[in-house]
Each structure stands twice: as C-alpha cells, then as structure tokens.
C-alpha cells in the first residue's frame, strides 16, 4: 500500500528556508525499525510519522539515527499537512499524542501556526574545556535543559561566527548544544544556533524544541513574556514565542516543498 509523504519547510517565510521535515501519513501502525529506516532514507533532521486516533493523531519523530522525545519543526510541519490535506477543518486544532504528552497546534492569522509545548527550565551547568574548545566559544553563562547544554555568549556576532569542530564533539558525550545571545537587531530579542552531532545532526537549521528552554531563559532575562527569536543557521528561521507559565507557544509558518508516496 502506497503511503503519502510530504516534505515541508517549517519556520520558513518562503521555500528553501527554515527547517525541512518529512511528514509520513500512516494508514496503519508500522514497526519502529521501519520508521527508522525511512528517516535514514529521508536524511532530514526529522521525519514525523502520523497515525490517526479517535481523538487526534499519534505523532513520533525520528532523526536519521534515533527516535527523539520532542521536535518542534516537525510538529509544525505535521499540523500544516493536516490542514493542507483537509484532514482537519480550518478552525479545528491539531491534537498530537507524543512521548512528551499531548501537544496541540492552532492556525492563526496570516498563515501563522502556533504549537503548544512544555516549558523547560534551564539549570546551572558546566561545559568541559574540550567542549568549549570544539565549539570555539568563551561562555558568559552555561546551563542545562535536561541532557542538553545552553551556552550564552557575548554577542550575535559570536553566535553567527561559530565554526564547531564536529569530529571532536562527536568524540565527547552529549545530546545537544544551544548557543545563544541577545540580538543585535531590534527586530529580534535573541538569536541562537543548535548543534546535535550525537544524533546525526551537526547543525539543525531551526529547532523548535530548544526554544522551550531558550524562550523561558530569555523571557526571564529580558522580563518579557512575548519574544521574537531568530535561529541564525545558514537557512535561518523566525520563531514567535509566548510564555504561559508551564507552557510555551511557539509560532511559525510552513511551506510544502514536495509530495510523494512510499512504496515499501
């Protein structure tokens, strides 16, 4: 049975920007190993697998190497596909059952999609001298959100100028690294880049899940509950963040790049 497959640029204002994700609409449950093989074949930072349920959709995310617990851009891409294909009414929210609990998405004016995610606290942390050398940064502050590092640096110029040594990073233990600073532009509150060579993604173009921590971190520092963030990867992506206590709303746009079918 052919399985419908979409490639979507998420957190993108136009094609070939933001973060590409594959979205696979499953007619029935498939084995974990099969989904991992598909994600490797797609060779994108995330492939999302959707399976309809009585009260929404089961949603799982795979990098080319592993299944992950939370992914923002592939969730936004999945919601975009459900509305695009009329699998949800235009005013109907998307409901996703995931390893991180129930996540929802809603359409806003101007094509904006807003996803509702858990807020993640940033605790004090440390980064080894070897990790900092591989990144090429001098940190102002180091924190941890779960097993991932958040490193604040002096300036947006420092964030944009990063040229990490990924071979050295892969030789260390780790899960993910968000490097961030306050923005030099009045259009954005803060900027960031995100690296995860340990799960097969040297640099992620736009990382919604990292903003579950970056949003509260900068919200506290800047004393704001609504922020505009820019992820300064080569493709780049704009995120609109609304802090709501234990939840974070992350808004962005999406563009479908291609559609097709899986035949295996």
Residue of 28, 31, 41, 46 marked catalytic = 46
Neighbours of 160 (CB within 10 A): 13
Residue 11: exposed, middle, or buried by beta-carbon count in 10 A (0-12, 13-18, 19+)? buried
- State the DSSP string of 69-108: S--HHHHHHHHHHHHHTTSS-TTPPEEEEETTEEEEEEE-
Q: Mean of the pLDDT values across residues 62-83?
A: 97
Query: Please, what is the Cα angle at 246 between 78 and 63, to 5 degrees?
Result: 35
**Given this model, what pLDDT does residue 111 score?**
86
pLDDT digits (tens, 9 = 90+) for 94-120: 999 999 999 999 999 888 999 999 999
Does the pLDDT at position 1 exceed 90? no
pLDDT digits (tens, 9 = 90+) for 133-148: 999 999 999 999 999 9
The secondary element (H helix, E strand) that includes residue 134 is helix 129-135
Percent of the chain beyond pLDDT 90? 97
Q: What is the pLDDT of residue 135?
A: 96
- pTM metric for this prediction: 0.93
Which residues are within 8 A (CB) of 129 and not within 5 positions of it... i.e. 6 or more apart?
Answer: none
Going by C-alpha positions, the residue among 192, 225, 189 that lies closest to residue 206 is 192
Question: What six digits make up the tokens of 58?
Answer: 């089961």
Residue 28 is a catalytic residue: no
pLDDT 10s digits, 183-215: 999 999 999 999 999 999 999 999 999 999 999
Alpha carbon distance 159, 153 (integer Å): 7
Mean pLDDT of the chain: 96
pLDDT digits (tens, 9 = 90+) for 81-93: 999 999 999 889 9
**Assigned token pair, 28:** 């029935």
Q: What stretches of the chain adopt beta strand conformation (E)? A: 3-10, 19-26, 46-53, 56-62, 67-68, 94-98, 101-107, 113-118, 123-124, 141-145, 148-152, 177-182, 190-196, 201-204, 226-231, 237-244, 247-252, 254-262
138-175 per-position pLDDT tens digit = 999 999 999 999 999 999 999 999 999 999 999 999 99
Find tokens 């490639």 and name the residue. 7
């Amino acid at each position: 049975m052919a399985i419908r497959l979409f490639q979507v640029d998420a957190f993108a204002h136009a094609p070939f920007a933001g973060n590409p994700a594959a979205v696979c609409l499953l007619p029935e449950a498939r084995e974990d190993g099969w989904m991992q093989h598909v994600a490797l074949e797609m060779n994108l930072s995330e492939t999302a697998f959707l399976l309809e349920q009585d009260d929404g959709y089961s949603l799982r995310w795979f990098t080319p190497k592993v299944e992950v617990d939370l992914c923002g851009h592939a969730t936004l891409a999945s919601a975009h596909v459900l509305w695009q294909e009329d699998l949800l009414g235009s005013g109907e929210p998307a409901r996703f059952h995931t390893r991180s609990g129930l996540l929802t998405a809603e359409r806003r004016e101007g094509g904006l999609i807003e996803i509702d995610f858990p807020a993640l606290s940033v605790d004090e942390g440390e980064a080894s001298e070897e990790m900092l050398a591989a990144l090429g940064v001098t940190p102002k502050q180091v924190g941890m959100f779960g097993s991932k590092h958040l490193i604040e640096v002096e300036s947006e110029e420092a964030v944009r100028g990063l040229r990490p040594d990924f071979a050295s990073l892969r030789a260390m233990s780790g899960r993910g690294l968000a490097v961030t600073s306050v923005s030099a532009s009045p259009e954005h509150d803060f900027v960031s880049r995100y690296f995860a060579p340990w799960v097969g993604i040297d640099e992620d173009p736009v990382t919604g899940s990292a903003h579950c921590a970056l949003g509260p971190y900068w919200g506290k520092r800047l004393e704001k509950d609504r922020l505009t963030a820019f992820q300064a990867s080569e493709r780049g992506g704009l995120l609109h963040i609304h802090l709501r206590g234990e939840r974070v709303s992350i808004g962005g746009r999406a563009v479908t790049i291609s559609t097709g079918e899986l035949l295996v």
